[in-house]
Structure 1
Amino acid sequence: MREDRGHQLGDRKTQDFRVAMSAKSRRDQLFKDFQEISSNSSTGVDVLRYRCLHQPDQLAFTFLKDGETESDRLTYSELDRRSRAIAGQLQALGASDERALLPYPPKLDYIATFFGCLYSGAIAVPAYPPRNQRHAARLQTAVSVATDSQAAIALTTTAILPQVQSLLADKIGAIHWLTTDTIPPGIEDTWQKPSIHAETLAFLL
């Protein structure tokens, strides 16, 4: 019995050692990746482009419905492509230097659009979308964010555009509306990297 217990303890120590070494290897690799990315990147656009080129199939973001069930995911390659498409559309509209209101629910569409603004040179202005007139506080916040930022364009999804537009349109004045889930395929190939640097304004809160 003592000999068997000794073997069990020895096996457990070996497993613990392997787990510790594996964790150390992951930490070392993460640190190495961070150093390499830092030396080649000065903006968020540079970081995502680096990830897309070197780790295209690695998972970038996962959306958990109700905080538990995975309902959507984006690899670095997919996020880059969607971001370039949104940026290409913004550049085609001449909105590269404009402030862009982003009334999105907390899903991956928001992430892609936020990076799309970075990719285009537009200044992202995040705003949680009001649901109806009864949510007075949320509605007022969205109106204040839009007017204070002087946003010239608003990006959202087709699903919530009618609702958000009906609640905000007459309160924030003239603004161009763009649904990012209806952007035609192929426009990502027209994207031009903007002239931005580490001190360029990226977003407003």
Structure 2
Amino acid sequence: MTHNTTTETVTATGELRHLNPADLVIDTNIRTEAEATLTAEFVDSIRDGVRQPILAVEVDGEVRVRDGQRRTLAARKNALPTVPVYVVPVATDADDKALTVDRIVEQLASFEREGLRNRDRVAAIEQLALAGMSATKIAKATRTKKKDVDATLALAKSDTTLDLIERGAALTLEQSATVAAYDHDPEAQQWLLDG
């Protein structure tokens, strides 16, 4: 893999590199529809270059995009020779679960300012739980109330409720979790929704 580094600024926490976007690995992302949100206007806005650095980590010689998936894709579509990438070091002893937790927490924080589909947020919280984090630790890491994390984890198990949220149903997180609890009883779910 070629790293076309044209400039470098080293700081205590990371380094700014100018890398070929084709060489970047787009890491798994909690936003599942990045490609679909890549509008012609967005691609055109990147035509003259990426102004906000892409956030990445370097693992086993690969520079993995953590925040900036759409900017990377747009830069590739525009055949830009380099993009600014802020590469943050990862602990050399970090295992896959630790890397996954760090990635999800970073992406959740990043998407708070841009907006994230509800289904993607629920899936991200569920992934943190599957990576071994307790609801209390998830709440702390994501700056969310523990009761909201508990409700999110309950609702993550219900495709019916996830579909309702995605279609814009005006349900609170607690109401969604209640509806999810009745996945085994569609009539009760409908009664809850109609009431």
TM (norm. structure 2) is 0.26
Greater gyration radius: 1
Which structure dedicates a bigger proportion of its chain to helix? 1
